[in-house]
């Protein structure tokens, strides 16, 4: 049974039983505490918790998920994957335990010929929570399961909650027995390798508080409306139904594994380590394909960092299979073909996905080359010091700064006959994880408990009137101070205001929130921010400018008209520049993010090369021509499917409901899904002045522009600068570039002459320095403060020249100088000194410690520096002391 067939059977089964079929949400989660959608129930959390009223009594979905907390287990077990699909059925206060059990048993055991999944009843076991007699009774009644195949487990295994106060409840899990060849008898309580969990039914029936751990919390009461949340693992069912050994061998994953085998020339099944690597590649390439399909781009933070890690682990695994050449074109092509049946969007958007993947592969292969050079130096240094282990801090720097995988470092160190100080590396990694965890916790704590908004959301959605109006009368539904409801707020207080209606635009879709005021009888509030903390609800963060505001008071929202117009100009300019980009570069230059506010916009787009000045000018000219042509700007509300048929473009990562707003500028020339505010005709944008174009990733660029009055002011400033230059240089404007080029050339020539003069002056000091050589600890030494020097290179040349004049006896030269206001010291040793175990790097490091800085280098030549010019003589004395010891 193919994976797509399992998906079809699932949706048809529950759809025919009154469940609303909900399409999979994006892998990019709406939940601000989550980077990704990590479980099938995540999109339904607001409904399950009662934060937002459920739009339907029961639902079903096949949800795309990403989970990387067990990434090190990928490829080693039968069921750990970073991307997986969770089949779910949900009830929001509708049916409960008995019906959930009945549905699960019916779908699992109905023969395939009748639309079911065709599992044999004898192979199925269940677990229930310790004291959930009710669930156990339903399994007996509905499924006829004997007591020995209904096992009871504790909170660690069979109890669900979010980790926060709120709804919770016991679970019941369904397991498939793979047979005695896979482990001992005794059910899932004994062995979860033989007995594979395929479905988890969560009975959300209690309200809990004071959550101290997964197993330690207080149950307050039963929920007035009990919910059902179930999840069946698509990949687990697929590998069982397809008769293969693990999830990496199912129809949606195996083609990538086979491609890795073909490219490497290594047979799957012949070697355990190679098998793990091929499974890692198959899993990570599929996960990366799906993440990029949902708009995630490789980067050094957040979601982009996770994606980059998956891609780089894939490249590393291919290298360990002996493949050093690029391989993503073939691997991603295989994954595209395997996944497009269930997710046709990866096929339609494959050009963009492919560019991202190939760009990241090319960049990381360069990283591997540079990292290998750094590692080679570390190997030489370790061997030169007579040690066996490469220092942990060096290995950590390779991993953290250069993205060089630790496994690759271990492999290359072993090839060189060395080990790695793994304990030190692991300590540094643990410290980094602890910092990241603390940062994540602090960010999570900073988020308000969203449950406080549920009471307001029950009154319905906040009505946004701002598309047509800049002023709207409303009523204060609630006030929040520090996340807690209050009855009133007085002058100086900063609070959140919940209104029934508002004309103030809440930040979304890349557009910054409106500026404005909220006024009423006896009070005035300055609006600091406007947000949507939960779907359908608008919250205004305000400071009370005067008076006192209370719950229930009439209030009027007043939008700052200048700000709104400028913001609308910027947002419309974003659409115009996007259309111009696609006209010049082609449809593959797709927007991947944007931000706009009054007078300014930036747009990120998929592209892997810098734009030439001519291309940038062409995009700017097309954009301003669109402004000149005074194109009509229209908005329409339609279904998402209708908008897609019209060719309206969506922003990756943005969430859209069934009804969407389509913004046209010049008809189909620019047609995008957008909830932002816009001008009525393109001429109202005023002027578009592209001020920068830069890289924001291996396959992403960013274009920034000033818009309207801000664009004019920037050009006026440039005009004033040009006028000042023409006056100062007494040169016509059109001749300024040539005149400035002449001046730069003259300046460089003068700098060269000065450098030659300074070099000759330094060279003239060599005889005197050599003449001042003295014996220290059996070495001929020159330890001198030479005053001010133009650059460290000049000082280095002086040091090596002096060393060459000292003959063959053991010699050490340490010269210190003032280089651009900072102390610098360079140390050189000759062959005879090094044979006596004197190393320039150690001496430079010692001198630099006195100067208040750091230093080091090779055994023959090294450099140090610091911040304390007054300590130069003390630093040279420290070198002398080291030689005398």
Query: With 60 as the cut, is the pLDDT of residue 436 above it?
Result: no
- Locate 682 and state its tokens: 């393109």
Q: For 403-422, b where at least 16 C-beta lie within 10 A, e where not — what string?
A: bbbbebbbebbeeeebebbb
| Alpha helix (H) residue ranges in 152-250 | 155-158, 234-241
> What mean pLDDT is predicted for residues 606-629?
93
Q: What pLDDT, on a 0 to 100 scale, did the predictor assign at position 3?
A: 94
The residues, any chain, with a CB within 8 Å of residue 145's CB and separated by 6 or more, are 124, 125, 126, 139
Calculate what percentage of the chain has a pLDDT beyond 70.
97
Q: How far apart are CA 152 and CA 130, in angstroms?
A: 5
| pLDDT band with cut points at 50, 70 and 90 for residue 437 | low
Q: What pLDDT, on a 0 to 100 scale, did the predictor assign at position 22?
A: 92
- Assign residue 596 a region (left: φ > 0; alpha: ψ between -120 and 50; beta: otherwise): beta
| CA 690 from centroid of its chain's CA atoms | 27
> What mean pLDDT is predicted for residues 6-22?
95
87 bridge partner residues: 62, 232
Query: With 80 as the cut, is the pLDDT of residue 624 above it?
Result: yes
Q: What pLDDT, on a 0 to 100 scale, did the predictor assign at position 558?
A: 97
In 3D, which of 125, 212, 221 has the Cα closest to residue 176?
125
Cβ neighbours around 266 below 10 Å, total: 18
Query: With 90 as the cut, is the pLDDT of residue 513 above it?
Result: yes
Query: With 80 as the cut, is the pLDDT of residue 673 above it?
Result: yes
pLDDT in tens, 56-100: 999 999 999 998 887 888 888 877 889 999 999 999 999 999 999
Q: What pLDDT, on a 0 to 100 scale, did the predictor assign at position 548?
A: 94
CA distances from 687 to 600, 627, 690, 711, 787 (A): 11, 7, 10, 6, 56
* 336-339 LR contacts (CB < 8 Å, sep 24+): 336/289, 337/255, 338/251, 338/252, 338/253, 338/254, 338/255, 338/256, 338/286, 339/252, 339/286, 339/289, 339/290
Determine contact, residues 262/74, Cβ cutoff 8 Å. no
- Locate 410 and state its tokens: 């271990």
Q: What pLDDT, on a 0 to 100 scale, did the predictor assign at position 659?
A: 86
Instruction: Say which residue, 609 or 623, is predicted with more confidence.
Output: 623
| pLDDT band with cut points at 50, 70 and 90 for residue 446 | very low
Determine contact, residues 201/149, Cβ cutoff 8 Å. no
Q: How far apart are CA 512 and CA 594, in angstroms?
A: 11
DSSP string, 756-823: HHHHHHHHTTHHHHHHT-EEETTEEEEEEEEEEES-HHHHHHHHHHHHHTT-SS-EEEEEEEEETTEE
pLDDT in tens, 213-268: 888 999 988 888 899 999 999 999 999 999 998 999 999 999 999 999 999 999 99
Domain 3-249: assigned CATH number: 3.30.930.10
Determine contact, residues 85/123, Cβ cutoff 8 Å. no
Query: With 70 as the cut, is the pLDDT of residue 545 above it?
Result: yes
> What mean pLDDT is predicted for residues 653-670?
84
Q: For 492-531, b where at least 16 C-beta lie within 10 A, e where not — what string?
A: ebebbbbbbbbbbbbebbbbbbbbbbbbbeebbbebebbe
Determine contact, residues 801/763, Cβ cutoff 8 Å. yes
Distance separating the N- and C-terminal Cα atoms of the chain: 79
179 bridge partner residues: none
Q: What pLDDT, on a 0 to 100 scale, did the predictor assign at position 73?
A: 84
Query: With 90 as the cut, is the pLDDT of residue 458 above it?
Result: no
- Locate 625 and state its tokens: 């021509």
Query: With 90 as the cut, is the pLDDT of residue 648 above it?
Result: no
- Locate 778 and state its tokens: 């059996």
Radius of gyration of the chain (CA): 34
128 bridge partner residues: 152, 172
Q: Does domain 564-716 have CATH number 3.40.50.300?
A: no
Q: How far apart are CA 738 and CA 870, in angstroms?
A: 46
| pLDDT band with cut points at 50, 70 and 90 for residue 441 | very low
Q: How far apart are CA 235 and CA 221, in angstroms?
A: 37
| CA 595 from centroid of its chain's CA atoms | 17
Q: What pLDDT, on a 0 to 100 scale, did the predictor assign at position 418?
A: 86
**Paired sense of beta strands 20-21 and 471-481, if any:** unpaired
DSSP string, 532-570: EEETTEEEEEEEEEEEEEETT-EEEEEE-HHHHHHHHHH
Q: Where are the beta strands (DSSP E) in 116-194?
A: 124-129, 150-153, 159-161, 166-177
Determine contact, residues 865/882, Cβ cutoff 8 Å. no
- Locate 39 and state its tokens: 């479980």
| pLDDT band with cut points at 50, 70 and 90 for residue 442 | very low
Query: With 90 as the cut, is the pLDDT of residue 393 above it?
Result: no
Q: 3-class SS at 345?
A: helix
Query: With 60 as the cut, is the pLDDT of residue 611 above it?
Result: yes
Determine contact, residues 763/794, Cβ cutoff 8 Å. no
| pLDDT band with cut points at 50, 70 and 90 for residue 447 | very low
pLDDT in tens, 134-174: 999 999 999 999 999 999 999 999 998 877 788 889 999 99
Query: With 90 as the cut, is the pLDDT of residue 534 above it?
Result: no
Q: How far apart are CA 98 and CA 706, in angstroms?
A: 61
- Locate 144 and state its tokens: 């006829």
- Locate 511 and state its tokens: 């557009």
In 3D, which of 99, 170, 174, 187 has the Cα closest to residue 132?
170
pLDDT in tens, 550-571: 999 999 999 999 999 999 999 9
Q: Does domain 764-884 have CATH number 1.10.3720.10?
A: no
Q: What pLDDT, on a 0 to 100 scale, did the predictor assign at position 653?
A: 53
| Ligand-binding site membership of 571 (annotated) | yes
Q: What pLDDT, on a 0 to 100 scale, did the predictor assign at position 742?
A: 93
| CA 456 from centroid of its chain's CA atoms | 32
- Locate 27 and state its tokens: 């892998």
| Ligand-binding site membership of 678 (annotated) | yes
| pLDDT band with cut points at 50, 70 and 90 for residue 439 | low
Q: 3-class SS at 391?
A: coil
pLDDT in tens, 586-599: 888 888 889 999 99
| pLDDT band with cut points at 50, 70 and 90 for residue 377 | confident
| pLDDT band with cut points at 50, 70 and 90 for residue 652 | low
Give the chain's mean pLDDT: 89
The residues, any chain, with a CB within 8 Å of residue 418's CB and separated by 6 or more, are 379, 382, 383, 388, 389, 390
Cβ neighbours around 75 below 10 Å, total: 23
| pLDDT band with cut points at 50, 70 and 90 for residue 777 | confident
* 6-11 LR contacts (CB < 8 Å, sep 24+): 6/87, 6/117, 6/234, 6/237, 6/238, 6/241, 7/62, 7/85, 7/87, 7/234, 7/342, 9/107, 9/115, 9/116, 9/117, 10/60, 10/62, 10/87, 10/107, 10/232, 11/60, 11/62
Q: What is the DSSP letter of 878?
A: H
- Locate 168 and state its tokens: 């919770």
In 3D, which of 51, 49, 56 has the Cα closest to residue 456?
51
> What mean pLDDT is predicted for residues 175-183?
93
The residues, any chain, with a CB within 8 Å of residue 10's CB and separated by 6 or more, are 60, 62, 87, 107, 232
Q: How far apart are CA 414 and CA 511, in angstroms?
A: 53
Give this prediction's pTM. Answer: 0.73
The domain at 450-559 falls in which architecture?
Beta Barrel (2.40)
Q: How far apart are CA 1 and CA 95, in angstroms?
A: 30
Q: What pLDDT, on a 0 to 100 scale, did the predictor assign at position 375?
A: 82
Domain range annotation of the chain? 3-249, 254-444, 450-559, 564-716, 764-884
Q: What pLDDT, on a 0 to 100 scale, did the predictor assign at position 560?
A: 96
Query: With 90 as the cut, is the pLDDT of residue 654 above it?
Result: no
**775 backbone dihedrals φ, ψ, rounded to 5°:** -90, 130
pLDDT in tens, 760-773: 878 888 898 888 88
> What mean pLDDT is predicted for residues 317-335?
94
The residues, any chain, with a CB within 8 Å of residue 387's CB and separated by 6 or more, are none
Query: With 70 as the cut, is the pLDDT of residue 655 above it?
Result: no
Q: What pLDDT, on a 0 to 100 scale, did the predictor assign at position 518?
A: 96
Q: How far apart are CA 608 and CA 592, in angstroms?
A: 13
Q: What pLDDT, on a 0 to 100 scale, did the predictor assign at position 449?
A: 61
């Amino acid at each position: 049974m193919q994976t797509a067939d399992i998906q079809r059977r699932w949706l048809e089964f529950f759809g025919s039983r009154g469940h609303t079929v909900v399409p999979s949400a994006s892998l990019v989660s709406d939940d601000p505490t989550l980077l990704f959608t990590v479980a099938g129930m995540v999109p339904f959390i607001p409904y399950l918790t009662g934060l937002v009223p459920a739009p339907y009594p029961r639902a079903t979905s096949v949800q795309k998920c990403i989970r990387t907390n067990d990434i090190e287990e990928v490829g080693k077990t039968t069921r750990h994957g970073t991307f997986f699909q969770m089949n779910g059925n949900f009830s929001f206060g509708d049916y409960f335990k008995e019906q959930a059990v009945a549905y699960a048993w019916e779908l699992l055991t109905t023969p395939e010929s009748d639309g079911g999944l065709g599992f044999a009843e004898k192979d199925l076991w269940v677990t229930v929570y310790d004291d959930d007699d009710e669930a156990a009774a339903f399994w007996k009644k509905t499924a006829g399961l004997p007591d020995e195949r209904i096992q009871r487990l504790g909170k660690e295994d069979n109890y669900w909650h979010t980790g926060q106060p709120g709804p919770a409840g016991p679970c019941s899990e369904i397991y498939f027995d793979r047979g005695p060849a896979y482990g001992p008898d005794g059910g899932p309580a004994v062995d979860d390798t033989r007995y594979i969990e395929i479905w988890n039914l969560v009975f959300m029936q209690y309200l809990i508080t004071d959550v101290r751990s997964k197993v330690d919390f207080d149950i307050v009461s039963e929920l007035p409306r009990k919910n059902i949340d179930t999840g069946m693992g698509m990949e687990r069912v697929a590998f069982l139904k397809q008769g293969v050994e693990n999830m990496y061998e199912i129809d949606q994953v195996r083609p990538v594994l086979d491609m890795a085998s073909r490219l490497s020339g290594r047979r799957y099944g012949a070697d355990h380590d190679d098998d793990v690597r091929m499974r890692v590649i198959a899993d990570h390439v599929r996960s990366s394909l799906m993440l990029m399909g949902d708009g995630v781009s490789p980067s050094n933070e957040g979601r982009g960092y996770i994606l980059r890690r998956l891609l780089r682990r894939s490249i590393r695994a291919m290298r360990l299979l002996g493949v050093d050449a690029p391989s993503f074109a073939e691997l991603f092509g295989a994954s595209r073909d395997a996944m497009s049946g269930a997710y046709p969007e990866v096929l339609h958007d494959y050009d963009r996905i492919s560019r991202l993947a190939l760009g990241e592969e090319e960049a990381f292969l360069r990283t591997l080359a540079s990292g290998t050079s750094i590692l080679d130096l570390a190997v030489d240094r370790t061997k030169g010091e007579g040690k066996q282990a490469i220092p942990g801090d060096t290995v950590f720097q390779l991993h953290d700064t250069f993205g060089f995988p630790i496994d690759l470092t271990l492999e290359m160190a072993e090839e060189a006959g060395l080990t790695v100080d793994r304990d030190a590396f692991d300590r540094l990694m643990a410290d980094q994880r602890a910092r990241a965890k603390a940062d994540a916790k602090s960010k999570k704590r900073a988020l308000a408990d969203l449950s406080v908004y549920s009471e307001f959301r029950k009154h319905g959605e906040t009505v946004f009137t701002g598309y047509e109006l800049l002023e709207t009368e409303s009523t204060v539904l609630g006030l929040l101070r520090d996340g807690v409801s209050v009855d009133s707020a007085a002058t100086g207080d900063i609070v959140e205001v919940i209104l029934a209606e508002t004309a103030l635009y809440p930040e979304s879709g890349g557009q910054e929130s409106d500026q404005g005021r909220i006024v009423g009888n006896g009070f005035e509030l300055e609006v600091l921010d406007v947000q949507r903390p939960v779907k359908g609800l608008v919250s205004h963060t305000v400071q009370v400018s005067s008076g006192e505001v209370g719950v229930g008071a009439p209030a009027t929202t007043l939008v700052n008209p200048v700000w709104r117009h400028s913001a609308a100009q910027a947002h419309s300019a974003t659409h115009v520049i996007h259309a111009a980009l696609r006209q010049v570069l082609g449809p593959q230059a797709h927007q991947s993010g944007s931000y706009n506010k009054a007078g300014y916009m930036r747009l990120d787009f998929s592209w892997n090369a810098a734009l030439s000045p001519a291309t940038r000018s062409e995009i700017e000219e097309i954009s301003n021509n669109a402004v000149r042509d005074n194109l009509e700007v229209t908005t329409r509300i339609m279904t998402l499917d209708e908008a897609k048929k019209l060719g309206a473009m969506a922003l990756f990562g943005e969430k859209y409901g069934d009804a969407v707003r389509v913004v046209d500028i010049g008809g189909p020339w620019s047609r995008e899904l957008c909830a932002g505010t816009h001008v009525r005709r393109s001429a109202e944008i005023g002027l578009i002045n592209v001020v920068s174009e830069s890289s924001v990733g291996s396959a992403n660029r960013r274009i920034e522009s000033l818009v309207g009055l801000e664009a004019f002011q920037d050009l006026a400033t440039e005009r004033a600068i040009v006028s000042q230059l023409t006056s100062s240089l007494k040169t016509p404007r059109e001749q300024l570039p040539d005149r400035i080029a002449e001046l730069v050339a003259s300046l460089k020539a003068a700098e060269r002459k000065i450098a030659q003069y300074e070099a000759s002056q330094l060279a003239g000091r060599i005889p005197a320095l050599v003449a001042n050589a003295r014996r220290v600890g059996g070495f001929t030494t020159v330890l001198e403060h030479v005053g001010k020097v133009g650059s460290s290179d000049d000082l280095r040349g002086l040091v090596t020249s002096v060393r060459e004049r000292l003959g063959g006896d053991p010699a050490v030269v340490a010269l210190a100088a003032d280089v651009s206001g900072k102390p610098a010291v360079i140390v050189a040793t000759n062959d005879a000194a090094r044979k006596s175990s004197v190393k320039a790097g150690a001496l430079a490091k010692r001198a630099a410690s006195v100067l208040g800085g750091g230093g080091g280098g090779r055994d023959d030549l090294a450099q140090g520096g610091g911040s304390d010019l007054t300590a130069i003589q003390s630093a040279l004395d420290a070198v002398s002391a080291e030689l005398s010891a």
